[in-house]
Amino acid sequence: MSTLFTPAALGPLTLPNRLVMAPMTRNRATAEGVPTPLMAEYYAQRATAGLIVAEAATPNRVGQTYPDIPGAYAQAQTEGWRHVTDAVRAAGGRMFLQLQHGGRIGHPANSGLDPVAPSPVPFPDVIHTPDGPQPAPVPREMTLDDISATVADFAQAARNAVAAGFSGVEIHAANGYLLHQFLSTHTNHRADAYGGSIENRIRFVLEVVDAVVAAVGAERVGIRLAPGVTANAMQESDVEALYPVLTRELSTRRLAYLHIVFADPDAPLFHELRRLWPTVLVANPALPWPSPFPADGGRAEGERLLAAGADLVSLGRAFLANPDLVERLQQGAPLNEPRPEHWYGGTEQGYTDYPVLVPVPA
Ligand SMILES: Cc1cc2nc3c(=O)[nH]c(=O)nc-3n(C[C@H](O)[C@H](O)[C@H](O)COP(=O)(O)O)c2cc1C
């Protein structure tokens, strides 16, 4: 019998099912990073998810990756998010906010500032800007002051998120952004306490986690990791060694959850991290990317992950294209296909206009 539709505890929350809407950047905030009423509508449409993890929000200006992504550092952004969380709560949902600093994935045309990173190793590709794709600049190496200021910015962003009505925050240490850049010898060439050994490379992530926990409490904090995932030209040479050490350290903080991207239930590392992790494990299945989109949206892989020890399953594209995904999967109904041309930016088209099985009466 499927456990996908059984309730689960997440800290003080009770989730009505084990389906998590994965964080997805949709570039529909204002140029100042303020969430819009359209975003509130989009998330409220998906409120039957056990948990929604809202798209990556930047904890400061320099961490902004792409155009029109939301922030979590300014008062107007907190107020904008408040409308989003109110709409989701009114529709019966629960929501965390992902906090993401882009590090070398950024451009002055987007943030107004030169990107910073553990080391001056540029992203070997283009960054999307309002003027079109532009080569990524060489990032400035973070000073120790930059590091402590960034840690403080994450903590403040978490406070802002809770003030905006989120149940918690997900620290983004995955997919090649700043925290992931610190973990990898490929992007972290530092000779100080933040580079070199595994113990040093995980230091920044742990400092961010500890500051965010001190700000809002461990039961309001999740973390996303992507062991060995090559998104954003990430390369890692010691995945099997680093992630168990990091997970063991994180496990002592008793966070709300660990969220693993492209989790493989057949991989020994998945089982090792499960053994080491004391609270909720959220697994995002490794599905064909970006297409073909599986007809079941990832359900079968999700069930395999639950059977292998995950507590919750996160799905991205399936939720993006199916506001009523939970109901569709429960009924075995066909799914809408995601339309990638509307993923990043634009209007309500390809955003709030995906059909539901039974339209809500006006
Ligand atoms: C349009 C889009 C935007 C995404 N943005 C984010 C993001 O902001 N943060 C993040 O951690 N992952 C992001 N992802 C990755 C998803 O969270 C998820 O890991 C990925 O889509 C794989 O899950 P799926 O096969 O169920 O779609 C994004 C994916 C898509 C399709």
Whether 3 maps to a domain, the answer reads no
Which amino acid residue places its CA nearest to atom 28 of ligand 1?
A: 24
The string of pLDDT tens digits covering residues 131-147 is: 999 999 999 999 999 99
CA pseudo-torsion sign 67, 69, 73, 79: positive
- Which residue range(s) make up the domain with 333? 8-342
Ligand 1 near 23 CB (within 6 A): yes
pTM of the complete model:
0.98
Residues of the chain with pLDDT under 70: 1-2, 359-362
CATH number at residue 125: 3.20.20.70
The yes-or-no answer on residue 177 being catalytic is yes
> What is the structure's pLDDT at 360?
57
Give residue 293 CA to ligand 1 midpoint distance, Å. 13
Concatenated DSSP letters of 194-209: TSSSHHHHTHHHHHHH
Ligand 1 contact via 25 beta carbon (within 6 Å) = yes
**Residue 129 domain-assigned (yes or no):** yes
Please work out whether the CB of residue 201 comes within 6 Å of at least one atom of ligand 1: no
> Is 41 within the bounds of a domain?
yes
Q: What's the gap in Å between 26 CA and the centre of ligand 1?
A: 10
Pocket test for ligand 1, best of 20, 25, 98, 299 (most atoms within 8 A of CB): 25
Ligand 1 touching residue 226 (CB < 6 A): no
Contact 188, 116 (CB under 8 A): no
Q: What is the rounded distance in angstroms from the CA atom of residue 357 to the CA atom of residue 328?
A: 8
Q: What is the pLDDT of residues 144-173, one digit of tens each?
A: 999 999 999 999 999 999 999 999 999 999
The pLDDT assigned to 291 comes to 86
* Within-domain flag for 1: no
Asked if residue 347 belongs to a domain, the reply is no
In total, how many domains does the chain have?
Answer: 1
- 320 is a domain residue: yes
The answer as to whether 290 is a domain residue is: yes
| Residues 177 and 102 sit within 8 Å (Cβ to Cβ) | yes
**234 domain-assigned:** yes
Q: Tell me what pLDDT residue 176 has.
A: 98
